[in-house]
Structure 1
C-alpha cells in the first residue's frame, strides 16, 4: 500500500486518485536560490485494523525518500530522520536495513539523492493489536544531505504523515512494466493483476481502462463496455469499463477472465493503457493511491513534423491574412495525454513593416528576444501552442492578420517549429529541414 512518486497529474483519469505527497522543504539560506532539498512521503496513510478475533492485520509499506531540484549539482549522503513515537499503540513498524534505529527514531541513509524523486526507504507498517477503527497517529521526518555547492549541506524542514486505522478492502494493482522497442503491427500483453491488502472482502471489482488510439485490445470480457473519448472524428482514447462479481477476500487476488493483449497500430509511438481498479457496491477502498497504474508501450516509429509559411502582397495601410501551417507527415501520431503539454510550438517572428492585428487564440505574445510580452496585438513575436495530440497527416493552421504599415519589398518573417519545453530537438522527428519556413510580404515578382 505504497504511495506513488510525485509527478504531473495523469490527464487520462484512470489512476488520478493518488494521494497527495509531502514535498515540504527548503535549502539553507545561502543555497536557497540554487537548490532545495525535499522530503517525499504521503500526507496520509491508512492501515487495515486487526480482523475480528484478533488476527494480525496485513502489513503495509510506506515509501519515503529525499530529492532535490537542481540537476547541475550532486547531492549525496542523504539522511532521513524518521520519528515514529506518534504511532505508540496505533501501529508497529519494521525498519529496513538502510535505517539505524534508536528507540522510536531512526536515521535512514540515502547515499545518492536524486533530482527526480523516488522512495528508496520502505517502512513495513501494520496496525497494533487492539488499535480501534478511526484512531490516528503520526510519523515525523527531517532531512539533511551534502552537496557540491558552496556551503556544503542542504536541509529540509520537518514534515509528517498522518496514519489512520480503518477497516475495508484495499485493492492494489500490480503496476505493469513498460514495454519498449515494439514494432508496429506486433502484439503485446497487457497484464491486470490485483491483490486485496485490506481486512475485508471486496464484493466485486470494477476495472476501468483508458487506451490510447495506437493500441487495440483483445481478450476483453463480454461485460466490458468500450466508449471512444474525445471530440472530433478521430478519438485519441477509448474508455473500457468492466464490472466483475468476483469476491476478493483479504489476502486474495483477482485477474481478468482471460489475458489482455494489445495490437500495435502502424501509427503507434508512445502508447499507454491507464488501468484503475476499485471495489464495487459503493464501498470505499482503504487506500485509493495504489489502485491505478499505466502500461506503457513504446513503439519503434517516427513522426515528421513540418511547418509552412506563405507569401502575401498588400499596399501600405491594408491588412492581409498570413497563415502559418503545421503538418504531421507521420507515420506516427503524437500525444502528450499524460502531461497535457502541446506536442510542439510554432514560433513566429513578424516581418518588419507589419503589425499583427489579428492573433490566433492559441498564440502568445513575445518580445523579439522570446520573453513574455504584455500586449497580444502588435507584438514582434508569437509562440503558438499546438494541441496535446495530433494524428498522422493532421494539419493545424494559425491564421494571423497583418497590417502593412510600411511596404518593405521581400520583408521576411521567420516560422520555426520548437519543442514544448527546453531547446532539445523533438526526438521522434527524423527530418529537421522542414522545421523552418518563412512569411514573405510583398515578394519580388
Structure 2
C-alpha cells in the first residue's frame, strides 16, 4: 500500500481554507434560504345568496390567512357578477374597474405565527336581477413571491322571504336555580315579507322553558325539551323582530356541564317537517309568544346574520351529581360458571349530557377478579388495553354507556359470565371510564369491588 504524507503546515493551511470557504457558503446561503421560504397566503369566501331587488344587502366575511408572507393580499375579479349582484368593499381596498385588491385588514390578529383578518364584503342584488340568477366572484390570495391560488364563490339571487336568526350568545357563571332570559331575534333578509313564522327551539336536559299558548312541547331521546311555536305577524324585509324580555328559562337541578340552547326560524309557508321522534303537545299558558319589531329596517345586514339557526351557549354549569359504581359478590366452586352484574348508577340530581359532543356517557371499566375466565364479551363491551402489556396487568373490559345522557335515578349494568379457575385470586373492580363532565360530588364510591368466593 502506498502511504501519503502531508506536512503539518500544509494541512493547517488546507483546513483554514476549508473553514473560511464553508463560512462564506453559509453566509451567502442565508438570504437565499430566506427567499426559498416566501410563506403562504390563503383566502376563503363561501357561496352567497342574496334576495331579489329590494332586499337588504348581505355582509359576508372574506377571510385572509397568512404565515411568513410579505404583503399578504387578495385580488377580486367582479366580472362574473354582472347583472346578478354588486359587491362593496372597505375603504382600505383599491378598486380599478372590475378588479379589487384588498390588503390584510388592519384589524387582523396574529396567533401562533398566523395572521388572520376578515374583510367584510357587502353583496346586493343588481337592478333587474331575476330569481335564480347566478354569478361568480373569482378571488386570489397571494403575497410577494408566494404561489397564487385562484378560487371562486357562487352568488345566487333568491326572491321571496328569507328569515335569519341573529342570536349567538355565550354565558358563563350560570348556576342551578338561575332564571335566564334567552334572547330570540330574527331578521328578514329577503325581498318579500314573511307572513307568520315557525320558531323551533331545543333546551337540553335540565333547562325548563316558559309555557306559551302558541307553542307545543315534547321530549326527545336525549331528554331535551323541544319547543315548536307558530308566531303570527308580518316580517318585512330588513326588519328585526325580538321577543321582548327574552324567553324565560329555569336552570333546573338536572342541569350539568355545558349546554347549547338552539333555535331555528322558518317562514311558516315553507317550513320543513316537524322534529322527528318527538310527540308535541300544548301546555297550559296565559300568554302567546310574540316577536315585536325593533328599530327601523336595516339597509345592510351585519355579518352575524348568516344562518336560519342560532344558539345560546351556557359554559360549565357546576350542578350536583353522584355516580356510584355497582360491584358484585358471588360464590361458587372451581369449575363453576357464575354471572356477575356490574355497572354504574346515577343518584343525581345532575344528568351527565354528551349531546353537544355526540359522545356516549356512563361508560365503565370492568376488571374481573384474578382466577376467573370471561367466557363471552357482552354486547357493547370489548377487551380494553394494549396487547403488548405484560401479563401482570389484569385484563380490563370497556363497556359503552347507555346513550348521550345518563338520567338521574337510573342504573347502567352489564352481566358477565365467569368460569372459576381458582379461588385464591385478588378481587376485581368496576369504575367509570371517565369522570364526565367532572369528578362527581362523592369520589369515594366511584370504584366498587367484584369478588368470587
Q: TM-score, normalised by structure 2?
A: 0.68
**Residue aligned with 2:191, SS:** coil
Correspondence 1:436 to 2:447: yes
CA shift at 1:207, angstroms?
A: 0.9
**Residue aligned with 2:270, SS:** coil
CA shift at 1:289, angstroms?
A: 6.2
Q: Check conservation: 2:61, 2:121, Cα contact below 8 A.
A: yes
**Residue aligned with 2:181, SS:** strand
Q: Check conservation: 2:205, 2:225, Cα contact below 8 A.
A: yes
CA shift at 1:364, angstroms?
A: 3.3
Residues 130 and 180 of structure 1: CA distance in aligned 2, closer, same or farther (over 3 Å): same
Q: Check conservation: 1:181, 1:300, Cα contact below 8 A.
A: no
Correspondence 1:391 to 2:407: yes
Residue of structure 2 in register with 1:9 after alignment: none
Residue of structure 2 in register with 1:132 after alignment: 130
Residues 66 and 281 of structure 1: CA distance in aligned 2, closer, same or farther (over 3 Å): same
CA shift at 1:158, angstroms?
A: 6.1
Residues 301 and 390 of structure 1: CA distance in aligned 2, closer, same or farther (over 3 Å): same
**Residue aligned with 2:445, SS:** helix
Correspondence 1:49 to 2:49: no
> CA RMSD for the aligned pairs?
4.1
Say how many residue pairs are matched. 370
CA shift at 1:194, angstroms?
A: 1.0
Larger Rg: 2
Residues 201 and 418 of structure 1: CA distance in aligned 2, closer, same or farther (over 3 Å): same
Q: Check conservation: 2:202, 2:263, Cα contact below 8 A.
A: yes
Counterparts of 1:140 and 1:216 in 2: how far apart (Å)? 48
Deviations 1:112-151 (A, max 9, x none): 3589xx9844322222334332222334566689xxxxxx
Deviations 1:151-191 (A, max 9, x none): xxx99976543221121212111214133222322211011
Residue of structure 1 in register with 2:81 after alignment: 88
Correspondence 1:229 to 2:220: yes
CA shift at 1:77, angstroms?
A: 6.8
Q: Check conservation: 2:362, 2:406, Cα contact below 8 A.
A: no
Residues 341 and 97 of structure 1: CA distance in aligned 2, closer, same or farther (over 3 Å): farther
Counterparts of 1:66 and 1:316 in 2: how far apart (Å)? 71
CA shift at 1:332, angstroms?
A: 1.5
Q: Check conservation: 1:221, 1:257, Cα contact below 8 A.
A: no
Equivalence map 1:6-405=2 (5 Å): 41-42=45-46, 44-51=47-54, 57-65=55-63, 81=74, 83-85=76-78, 87-89=80-82, 90-96=84-90, 103-108=99-104, 110-112=108-110, 120-140=118-138, 160-218=152-210, 220-230=211-221, 236-256=223-243, 259-269=246-256, 270-282=258-270, 290-298=307-315, 299-368=317-386, 380-386=395-401, 387-404=403-420
Which structure shows the higher strand fraction? Answer: 1
Query: Which stretches in structure 1 are left out of the alignment for 5+ residues?
Result: 1-35, 52-56, 69-74, 146-153, 372-378
**Residue aligned with 2:348, SS:** strand
Residues 157 and 104 of structure 1: CA distance in aligned 2, closer, same or farther (over 3 Å): closer
Query: Which stretches in structure 2 are left out of the alignment for 5+ residues?
Result: 1-39, 273-303
Counterparts of 1:305 and 1:363 in 2: how far apart (Å)? 20
Q: Check conservation: 2:64, 2:104, Cα contact below 8 A.
A: no
Residues 37 and 380 of structure 1: CA distance in aligned 2, closer, same or farther (over 3 Å): farther
Residue of structure 1 in register with 2:299 after alignment: none
Structure 1 window deviating more from structure 2 (199-208 vs 177-186): it is: 177-186
**Residue aligned with 2:339, SS:** strand
